[in-house]
């Protein structure tokens, strides 16, 4: 930036006034850039050593992470992994047994739910049946005792943002699932919270509507700049919408990262298995960059394992190349072919082990094939006693 | 053929149910003490009815008792229902069991147990004892009407109110209460009806000084047929019909408003 | 919803203890006493009262109460069950109308309803006149056993109808269509589907008729002229006329036991709590 300004200075023929103006503007935009950078890396929520028990079951097992402002964060995991409990603790509906939740540096734990600058969109929407759309959305504003005119403006704006303009007087019980969903979102967002919590809000919608809503939510988040914390068990959903994903299982964090990172570099077998489909195989690391599976030695790019360490190899179905038999590192027979529109899903049997392959080429059950995988697409992970190969 | 039989069946049943009442009404205008042949139209039984001090006093007591019992039982029942909803099941079960006793046990047992208590405690039977008795058998019905409403609340609705900034008290009044209100009103209605109509329990707990409408009718009927009772029946039945028509009009209006 | 304490229900809990539990205990206690003058402070525990009850006179009375109540229940059932089926077959709004019409008499005072039959059945009443036309002279149906049972049926019939109607209404019409699809004729459909599914309603309705019928004293006094004493009459007499509270308490305990036994049997048959058809309210 500075360089450009200086170059312009040297340019003869520029009047002094214009030079000064451009200099000031460049300084300002520089300062704005720094502010933006700072804001984006600012940690808005920090979770420290959080623990929660129900009876003798540990639901949340000492987790630590932070959330950056203005990001779309998804907590992803199977049913019972603790993700909803975590969300409820952030919202203030459960209290942790140990650990702390910090909001902009200050502890939230002793602040009751109604005083936190956080709003929630509940799984079953929790709309107030005795109030119409307008009154539902205006509820929080009325509690804050805002002026009627101001409430009206805010509500109308929010309804427009969720495409429900004109529906103010409608009875919420007569709305469709998607419409109720949007009222729930509007009701939460109209209060301009700093953080919005969403507890699997799209579960009850049909596929097409769900996909539309995912895009809508993403757009909404970008537009309002509010930090979204989204909870789901649907990995595709998480991948579509998130800036960052936290994968949870058994009350512990398995991996944190962007969708691309998690997909390409799953940190453990659970993450690999949960996100996308994978082939996970028992294998042995012979030495750096060489792994042995199904009695075949295959070059890869991972290092740092012990000699002859028992490991798991993870290969994505779409990374497998199908070749004529004998020309790849393994051969097998195709058991089944399923046409999924985008690709064919092929199950291949190689010496008793089933491999899942995605390809756009047509094959038939009974075909003999060979497979090959680029070393960069072979991921080696340590075996953790936690995980079972399904 | 089937349709005719159906209609006949309904007609017979309705005849069976309403004939006695209609007969009462017709004979209330009969100028004769016996309910036999028609002896001419008269309103004298109505006049005598309104001049009968005992009946008017009984009416007064009936209404006072019903209003007090309904108010108290609706308030206490609703508040207790809120508490019951929070109860851990170890306490809830015996609590609700106790609450169900007045509903399950025959009136006569309720009557004599309460009477025994009052005598045992040395209380004088009168307005107080009868009101206590009415409250005791009304509250269970209010609770039975209100409590299910809590179980049918939309999920997370209280938390949603808190989430939007309401204090627990605000959340109760603005969100919970409107949802349980239909239960509260029907509970109040049931309590009122039960109290107005009660005979057996009142009979045992009223003592000598106080009498409600049912007790008065019983005393009169025991002595034999009395056209004043007919007149009273007609008026009461008339009130019921007016009430029904009013309710009907209100609900029609409500439907029209939505349209 | 942890913001409200369960303690707000405690005051009524106390009320219940004082006005429901204690009175029951007092009566149970009385039933085991022989000394009517408790103020004197001398209590003798005895089973005398219960032994007294074993007298054939009283047992016959108990039997009569039971018999009348059972007959009334059966009559109510055999009218209400077909009627309930008929009503269910009506279109929706006609159904509601019919049910409301059946319920309205319930809002008329119980005593007035009983008195109405006094009028109808009296010596100069309409029914006597009607019978007179047919050639039966001087017949008064009032103060007979039939009058008492009739009074029971008339008063408690809606209590049988409502639960039965509710239960029948709840049967998913698809079930009946499935049965027909699988080859069932009307009779089989009734026995194999309707009857079992409406059984909870039948049991409820029967309870709601039996219990007040077995314990009434008004109907037997007004329509039976006091000639046919039922256990309710006996209890009333012991407490209010004879001042024999100990025996009266024992009788009440007997009545309570019968009631709970019958309730227990009902629970066994249906396997769940009584559904009093209160949804209509």
For residue range A197-233, list pLDDT tens digits in order.
999 999 888 889 899 999 999 999 999 899 999 999 9
Q: Among B113, B141, B143, which Cα is nearest to B129's?
A: B113
Which pLDDT does position A387 carry in this prediction? 46
Lowest mean per-residue pLDDT among A3-7, A290-294, A309-313: A3-7
CB-based contact B163 A114, cutoff 8 Å:
yes
pLDDT of C35 strictly over 80: no
Mean pLDDT, residues C223-247 taken together:
89
Q: What is the 3-state composition of chain A as percent helix, strand, coil, each rounded to the nearest 5? A: 35, 35, 35
Residues of B within 8 A of C6 (CB-CB) are 83-84, 86-88, 91
Delimit the CATH 2.40.50.140 region(s) of chain A: 277-387
Which pLDDT does position C281 carry in this prediction? 31
- The interface predicted TM-score (ipTM) is 0.87
Which residue among C119, C120, C255 places its CB closest to the CB of B109?
C255
Q: What's the CATH class of domain A277-387? A: mainly beta
CB-based contact B179 A115, cutoff 8 Å:
no
Q: Indicate the CATH number for domain A43-264.
A: 3.40.50.300
Chain B: residue whose CA lies nearest to A171: B258
Mean pLDDT, residues A121-128 taken together:
92
Under 8 Å CB pairs connecting chains B and C tally to 221
Rounded to whole angstroms, the Cα distance separating C87 from A211 reads 48
Rounded to whole angstroms, the Cα distance separating A378 from A292 reads 12
Which pLDDT does position A32 carry in this prediction? 62
* A107: phi then psi, degrees, rounded to nearest 5: -70, 135
Shortest distance between the Cα of C66 and any Cα of chain B, in A, equals 14
CB-based contact B166 A112, cutoff 8 Å:
no
- Touching subunits of A (3+ CB pairs, under 8 Å) are B
Residues of A within 8 A of B161 (CB-CB) are 128, 139
Helix or strand (DSSP H, E) at A165: none
Chain C: residue whose CA lies nearest to B10: C83
Helix axes B2-27, C145-170, angle to 10 degrees: 130
* A303: phi then psi, degrees, rounded to nearest 5: -130, 175
CB-based contact A126 B167, cutoff 8 Å:
no
Delimit the CATH 3.40.50.300 region(s) of chain A: 43-264
* A188: phi then psi, degrees, rounded to nearest 5: -80, -45
| Residue A388's pLDDT band (cuts 50, 70, 90) | very low
Rounded to whole angstroms, the Cα distance separating A188 from B172 reads 19
Cα B98 → chain centroid? 21
Shortest distance between the Cα of A133 and any Cα of chain B, in A, equals 14
For residue range A164-193, list pLDDT tens digits in order.
988 899 999 999 988 999 999 999 999 999
CB-based contact A124 B159, cutoff 8 Å:
no
Mean pLDDT, residues C95-104 taken together:
89
Which pLDDT does position A269 carry in this prediction? 79
CB-based contact B9 C86, cutoff 8 Å:
yes
Rg (alpha carbons) of chain C, rounded to whole number: 23
CB-based contact B162 A113, cutoff 8 Å:
yes
CB-based contact C86 B76, cutoff 8 Å:
no
pLDDT of C186 strictly over 90: no
Chain B: residue whose CA lies nearest to A91: B163
Which pLDDT does position C185 carry in this prediction? 84
CB-based contact C215 B19, cutoff 8 Å:
no
Mean of pLDDT over chain A = 86
Q: Does B15 touch chain C (CB under 8 A)?
A: no
Q: What is the DSSP string of A92-124?
A: TSS--SEEEEEETTEE-TTS-GGGSSEEEE-TT
pLDDT of C53 strictly over 90: no
Task: Give the B window 215-244 contacts with C, CB below 8 Å.
Answer: 217-218, 221-222, 225, 229-230, 232-233, 236-237, 240, 244
For the entire predicted model, the pTM comes to 0.80
Residue that wins the pLDDT comparison between C111 and A10: C111
């Amino acid at each position: 930036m500075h360089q450009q300004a200086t170059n312009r200075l040297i340019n003869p023929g520029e009047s002094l006034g214009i030079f000064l103006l451009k200099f000031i503007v460049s300084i300002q935009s520089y300062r704005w850039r720094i502010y933006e950078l700072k804001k984006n890396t600012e940690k808005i929520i920090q979770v420290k050593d959080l623990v929660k028990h129900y009876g003798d079951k540990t639901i949340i097992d000492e987790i630590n992470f932070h959330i950056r402002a203005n990001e779309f964060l998804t907590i992803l995991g199977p049913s019972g992994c603790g993700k909803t409990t975590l969300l409820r603790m952030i919202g203030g509906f459960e209290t942790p047994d140990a650990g702390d939740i910090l909001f902009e540096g200050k502890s939230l734990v002793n602040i009751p739910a109604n005083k936190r600058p956080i709003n929630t969109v509940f799984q079953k929407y929790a709309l107030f049946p005795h109030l119409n759309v307008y009154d539902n959305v205006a509820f929080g504003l009325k509690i804050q005792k805002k002026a009627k005119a101001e409430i009206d403006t805010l509500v109308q704006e929010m309804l427009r943002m969720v495409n429900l303009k004109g529906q103010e007087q409608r009875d919420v019980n007569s709305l469709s699932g998607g419409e109720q969903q949007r009222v729930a979102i509007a009701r939460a967002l109209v209060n301009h919270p700093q953080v919005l919590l969403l507890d699997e809000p799209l579960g009850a919608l049909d596929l097409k509507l769900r996909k539309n809503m995912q895009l809508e939510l993403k757009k909404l988040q970008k537009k309002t700049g509010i930090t979204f914390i989204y909870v789901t068990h649907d990995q595709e959903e998480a991948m579509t919408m998130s800036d960052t994903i936290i994968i949870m299982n058994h009350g512990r964090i398995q991996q944190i990262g962007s969708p691309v990172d998690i997909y390409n570099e799953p940190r453990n077998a659970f993450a690999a298995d949960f996100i996308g489909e994978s082939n996970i195989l028992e294998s042995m690391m012979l030495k750096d960059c060489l792994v042995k599976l199904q009695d075949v030695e295959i070059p890869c790019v991972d290092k740092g394992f012990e000699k002859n360490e028992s490991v798991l190899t993870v290969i994505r179905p779409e990374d497998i190349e199908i070749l004529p038999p004998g020309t790849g590192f393994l051969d097998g027979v195709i058991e089944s072919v399923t046409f999924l529109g985008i690709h064919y899903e092929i199950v291949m049997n190689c010496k008793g082990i089933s491999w899942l392959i995605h390809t756009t080429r047509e094959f038939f059950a009974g075909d003999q094939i060979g497979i090959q995988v680029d070393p960069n697409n072979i991921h080696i992970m340590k075996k953790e006693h936690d995980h079972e190969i399904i | 053929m089937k349709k005719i039989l159906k209609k006949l069946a309904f007609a017979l049943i309705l005849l069976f149910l309403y004939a006695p009442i209609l007969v009462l009404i017709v004979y209330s205008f009969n100028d004769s003490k016996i309910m036999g042949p028609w002896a001419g139209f008269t309103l004298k039984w109505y006049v005598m009815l309104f001049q009968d001090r005992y009946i008017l006093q009984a009416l007064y007591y009936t209404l006072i008792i019903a209003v007090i019992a309904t108010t108290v039982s609706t308030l206490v029942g609703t508040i207790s229902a809120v508490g019951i909803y929070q109860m851990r099941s170890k306490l809830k079960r015996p609590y609700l069991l106790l609450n169900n006793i007045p509903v399950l046990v025959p009136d006569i047992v309720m009557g004599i147990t309460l009477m025994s208590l009052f005598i045992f405690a040395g209380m004088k039977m009168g307005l107080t004892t009868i009101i206590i008795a009415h409250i005791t058998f009304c509250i269970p019905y209010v609770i039975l009407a209100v409590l299910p409403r809590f179980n049918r609340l939309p999920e997370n609705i209280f938390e949603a109110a808190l989430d939007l900034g309401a204090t627990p008290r605000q959340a109760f009044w603005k969100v919970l209460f409107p949802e349980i209100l239909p239960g509260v009103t029907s509970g109040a209605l049931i309590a009122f009806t039960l109290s107005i109509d009660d005979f057996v329990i009142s009979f045992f707990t009223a003592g000598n000084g106080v009498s409600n409408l049912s007790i008065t009718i019983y005393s009169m009927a025991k002595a034999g047929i009395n056209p004043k009772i007919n007149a009273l029946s007609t008026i009461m039945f008339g009130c019921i019909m007016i009430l029904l028509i009013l309710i009907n009009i209100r609900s029609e209006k409500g439907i029209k408003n939505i349209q | 919803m942890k913001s409200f304490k369960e303690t707000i229900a405690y005051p009524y809990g106390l009320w219940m203890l004082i006005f429901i539990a204690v009175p029951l205990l007092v009566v149970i206690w009385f039933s085991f006493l022989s000394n009517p003058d408790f103020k004197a402070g001398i209590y003798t525990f005895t089973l005398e009262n219960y032994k007294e009850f074993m007298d054939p006179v009283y047992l016959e009375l108990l039997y009569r109460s039971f018999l009348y109540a059972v007959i009334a229940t059966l009559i109510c059932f055999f009218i209400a069950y077909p009627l309930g089926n008929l009503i269910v077959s009506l279109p929706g709004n006609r159904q509601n109308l019919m049910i409301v019409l059946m319920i309205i008499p319930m809002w008329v005072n119980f005593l007035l309803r009983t008195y109405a039959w006094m009028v109808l059945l009296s010596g100069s009443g309409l029914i006597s006149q009607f019978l007179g036309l047919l050639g039966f002279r001087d017949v008064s149906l009032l103060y007979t056993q039939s009058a008492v049972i009739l009074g029971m049926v008339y008063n408690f019939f809606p209590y049988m109808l409502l639960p039965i109607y509710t239960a029948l209404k709840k049967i998913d019409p698809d079930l009946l269509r499935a049965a027909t699809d699988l080859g069932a004729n009307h009779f089989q459909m009734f026995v194999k589907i309707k009857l079992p599914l409406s059984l909870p309603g039948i049991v409820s309705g029967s309870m709601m008729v039996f219990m007040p019928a077995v314990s009434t004293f008004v109907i037997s006094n007004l329509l039976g002229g006091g000639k046919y004493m039922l256990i309710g009459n006996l209890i009333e007499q012991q407490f209010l006329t004879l001042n024999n509270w100990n025996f009266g308490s024992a009788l009440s305990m007997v009545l309570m036991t019968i009631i709970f036994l019958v309730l227990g049997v009902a629970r066994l048959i249906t396997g769940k709590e009584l559904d009093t058809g209160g949804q209509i309210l």
